[in-house]
Amino acid sequence: MPTASSSLDTLCIHAGQHADPLSGAVMTPIVLATTFAQDGPGAHKGYDYSRAGNPTRTALEGCLAALEGARHAVAFGSGCAATTAVLLTLKSGDHVLCGDDVYGGTFRIFDKVLKQFGLEATFLDMRDPARVAEAIRPNTRLLWMETPSNPMLKVFDIAAIADVARSRGVPLAVDNTFATPMLQQPLALGATLVVHSTTKYLNGHSDVVGGAVMTSDDALADRLHFLQKSVGGVPSPFDCYLVLRGLKTLGVRMKRHVESARGIAEWLEKHPRVAHVRYPGLASHEGHALAARQMKGPGGMISFDLRGSLAQASAFLRALRVFACAESLGGVESLAEHPAIMTHASLAPEARHALGIGDGLIRLSIGLEDPRDLVADLEAGFAAAARV
Ligand code: P1T
């Protein structure tokens, strides 16, 4: 078992897990049972029904809590279910101040689901923490942000915004999906809640949809466990096992994602067919110094504007052979996508344009392939775009 001083690389492999007491099996058993025998009414061994609690899920939650330095983790069946659970701690008439650049599905939860239950949300570029302080209203009950954000890779100052939040008595939730706890630890910087789509880097193999919320606030954790059981958006034991298995290599994977993405971002920045690259590891990124301060590495995601039209962006994506043209991110395989048509189609065109999500914007999730093969593939894409 890891100790309190174990490094994140060690926690990835061991936290929340122990050899099976029955057999000594070193891998966590997948407990598929939906129900658990009780010696008598209410006399159970900590588990009564698998929606309320499951031993494989408990192991995953233990590992995720340790990685984010949290007392509690609550696992869900998707990142969207995790986001929704956090928002269900609020009530009609409450206001959420949200970063302006978030996953399209997160925006959709605010705009198309919870608005009709009276939850108000406004979206703000949080690069200036003073603007956050000004935008907090008397009924603001939650600050929410992604950093780096999806897809524009804006970097927000977690410690400064957490200070603002604390001074106004409002919790700050950070969606840490793009960074992972290996590169950024929002709770240590003062956030109250961390949210993840475990679908992405944490599982890392593009074969599970999952989510989680981490916090050291006992009352919030109780409420989230209650919502997990009551609303029921729970992950399957098999999915919990797969995320636990994926987590074991998170440390080594993130190092390679960062190393390759840094090289590819630098190469893209010099490419004549690229108008602009957004990657927090580049000196040209306005959040470069902040990212260097609050992150241990700038991550594996890059967005760039291809010079040209939608037809050229489409030709670029169609020509790729190593990158798959696909939504999602954070897997061992590289993915490329067109945010305006794919992941951020739920935003109104005006909102997309205000953020800079135009027809030429391409988002890359840099995988673990040899980066020379990735560069060759991107070069073939640019050649195809030039022929349009
Ligand atoms: O897909 P799901 O597990 O429900 O997670 C939603 C989610 C939450 N937060 C962030 C930052 C995300 O990027 C996502 C999902 N994003 C994609 C599918 C995507 O391609 O951007």
CATH code assigned at 212: 3.40.640.10
**Atom nearest to 178 CA in ligand 1:** 11
**Atom nearest to 200 CA in ligand 1:** 3
The answer to whether position 2 is within a domain reads no
Rounded to two decimals, the pTM is 0.98
The answer to whether position 3 is within a domain reads no
The answer to whether position 177 is within a domain reads yes
The answer to whether position 79 is within a domain reads yes
Q: Are residues 17 and 121 in the same domain?
A: yes
Q: Are residues 140 and 69 in the same domain?
A: yes
Q: Are residues 194 and 303 in the same domain?
A: no
Pocket test for ligand 1, best of 101, 155, 197, 346 (most atoms within 8 A of CB): 197
Give the chain's domain count.
2
Q: Are residues 193 and 305 in the same domain?
A: no
According to the model, what pLDDT value does residue 103 have? 97
According to the model, what pLDDT value does residue 263 have? 98
Chain mean pLDDT for the chain: 97
Q: Are residues 117 and 259 in the same domain?
A: no
* The last residue of a domain, from among 209, 228, 247: 247
Q: Are residues 350 and 216 in the same domain?
A: no
Per-residue pLDDT tens for 41-97? 999 999 999 999 999 999 999 999 999 999 999 999 999 999 999 999 999 999 999
Per-residue pLDDT tens for 131-174? 999 999 999 999 999 999 999 999 999 999 999 999 999 999 99
The answer to whether position 143 is within a domain reads yes
The answer to whether position 237 is within a domain reads yes
Question: Mean of the pLDDT values across residues 299-322?
Answer: 97
**Atom nearest to 102 CA in ligand 1:** 11
**Atom nearest to 329 CA in ligand 1:** 20
* The last residue of a domain, from among 247, 280, 296: 247
Confidence label for 251 from pLDDT (cuts 50, 70 and 90) = very high
Q: Are residues 86 and 108 in the same domain?
A: yes
Range of the domain at 69: 8-247
Q: How far is the CA of 105 from the centre of ligand 1 (A)?
A: 7
Catalytic residue among 48, 51, 111, 125: 51
Q: Are residues 144 and 231 in the same domain?
A: yes
**Residue bearing the CA closest to ligand 1, atom 18:** 328
Per-residue pLDDT tens for 177-211? 999 999 999 999 999 999 999 999 999 999 999 99
Question: Mean of the pLDDT values across residues 290-318?
Answer: 97
**What CATH number does the domain containing 271 carry?**
3.90.1150.10
According to the model, what pLDDT value does residue 2 have? 79
Q: Are residues 206 and 297 in the same domain?
A: no
Q: Are residues 53 and 195 in the same domain?
A: yes
Confidence label for 6 from pLDDT (cuts 50, 70 and 90) = confident
Structure tokens at 144: 């929410």
According to the model, what pLDDT value does residue 3 have? 76
**Residue bearing the CA closest to ligand 1, atom 12:** 103
**Residue bearing the CA closest to ligand 1, atom 2:** 79
The answer, yes or no, to whether residue 243 has pLDDT greater than 80, is yes
* The last residue of a domain, from among 201, 224, 247: 247
Q: Are residues 132 and 18 in the same domain?
A: yes
Q: Are residues 221 and 302 in the same domain?
A: no
Pocket test for ligand 1, best of 103, 193, 361 (most atoms within 8 A of CB): 103
